[in-house]
Amino acid sequence: MPRKRRKEGTRAPNRTSSVYFSDKDGYWHGRVTMGVRDDGTPDRRHVKRKDEAECRRKVRELENERDAGKVRKPGRAWTVEKWLTYWVENIASPTVRQTTMVGYRTSVYKHLVPGIGKHRIDQLQPEHLERLYVRMQKDGLKPGTAHLVHRTVRAALNEAVRRRHILENPAKVAKPPRVEEEEIEPFTVDEARRVLSAAADMRNGARFVIALTLGLRRGEALGLKWSDITVTWKHGCPKSDPCRRAHPAEDCGQRQGSGTLTIRRSLQTHTWQHGCSEDKPCEHRYGAHCPHRHGGGIVVSEVKSRAGRRTIGLPQPVIESLEEHRARQEFERKRAREAWEEGGWVFTNRWGSPVHTTVDYDAWKALLRAADVRNARLHDARHTAATMLLVLKVPLRAVMEIMGWSEASMAQRYMHVPHELVTAVADQVGGLMWPESGTDDDEDDDGEAGSLVPA
């Protein structure tokens, strides 16, 4: 049925699009009402094309976006450079940790802005990103660096989608380079015991005891204060022993302790920034050497996540290790006298200040050499602690609480199946399927022993 023509002198219905040809410029023009602007005026978008069919196609696209509720903000689209700069300095900076910001700023200013910054944000394509990743690797950068750039631009463009600067995130479609994940090998029980034994003889050795047994992150361990540790002592001697009347529980030779450790803060080391002006720069390459440096050093910050703020039970050997460490620290405090900076920190340098992360790293490597075990990252101690919980068959919910995980998926990353557990399972399977000769298996009513498959 042919469409009825609208009477002359009557207006088209609201939100109706219009397409017309202009003799002035020789273009086909389309106008589409997308909604209402912030000031209450109609948001009417304009497109123009040389070809009528192309103009009508673009008008239909705008109408479909409007009807689907996916309308880009009015006005000229931002460039990628403008959006990334705004995002990293005004959106990401106040909300993420400074260590994360170091990676964000490097990705934005060193790779993304020079590589794709001139594109309009609504015209950026997945292929633009993929070609950038290829160029980065041709320039000698590792796939991991390109992968970090990909995660950064994906986070930035996700925010652009939420704010309707663009309708879809091209970084979700783009394929980042494949990164070969390094296989993490947690310490065996024998290796862990050798490390714990060597830690008993070194300064701040208790710091690595709790790393291996409780799985604390580096910043969490270095950020501990004595007020975060609660210990309750009980007599371990018989009730009739004179020790109970002569000494308090903590002085009992067979004392038994129970306690908790609460994670409330994290200690981070921030990179020093240059404080000199651009017209009078200092001659030093690194900000740490600048005479006007700022923003660096040891900084106390919040824990990594809400789940990171947690309370952990302390095993008796860990309590004893911490008490021995407390006694050593008290001796150092008396020897330092007025030079001691009292901050209540559990692990300190020789003057009471928090331990720098570089010093902590060097101490870990020295401990591995003293224990005569293979070289490993300090973070591998956290993997070891999680794996030990797996071996002990601790429920996953309790593991998440101890490790400070907010998602159960972290277990797949940190909990590894050790060789001892693999062989133990194999022995159990062998014992089930091939029982030792001479054993009498209970038979069912039909005379069949322990059938795994129902009849």
In the set 164, 234, 289, 369, the catalytic residue is 234
CA distance 351 to 341: 6
In the set 15, 119, 333, 379, the catalytic residue is 379
- State yes or no: is 345 an active-site residue: no
CA distance 36 to 278: 46
- State yes or no: is 225 an active-site residue: no
For residues 310 and 304, is the Cβ–Cβ distance under 8 A?
A: no
Structure tokens at 78: 């931002």
- State yes or no: is 414 an active-site residue: yes
CB burial string 152-180: b at 16+ within 10 A, e below: bbbbbbeebeeeebbeebbbeebebbeee
How far, rounded to the nearest angstrom, does the alpha carbon of residue 310 sit from its chain's CA centroid? 17
User: Containing H/E element for 314?
Assistant: strand 311-314
Strand order in the sheet with 256-262: 229-234, 256-262, 311-314
- State yes or no: is 217 an active-site residue: yes
In the set 217, 304, 310, 325, the catalytic residue is 217
- State yes or no: is 110 an active-site residue: no
User: Containing H/E element for 112?
Assistant: none
In the set 293, 325, 382, 383, the catalytic residue is 382
Closest C-alpha among 35, 30, 29 to residue 70: 35
For residues 147 and 126, is the Cβ–Cβ distance under 8 A?
A: no
Query: 29 forms bridges with which residues in the sheet?
Result: 20, 48
- State yes or no: is 325 an active-site residue: no
Max intra-chain CA distance, the chain: 113
Phi and psi for 216 in degrees, rounded to 5? -65, 145
| Residue 219 CB contacts under 8 Å (≥ 6 apart), including other chains | 266, 267, 268, 301, 304
CA distance 176 to 328: 51
Radius of gyration over alpha carbons of the chain, in Å? 33
Question: So which residues are the catalytic ones?
Answer: 217, 234, 379, 382, 405, 414
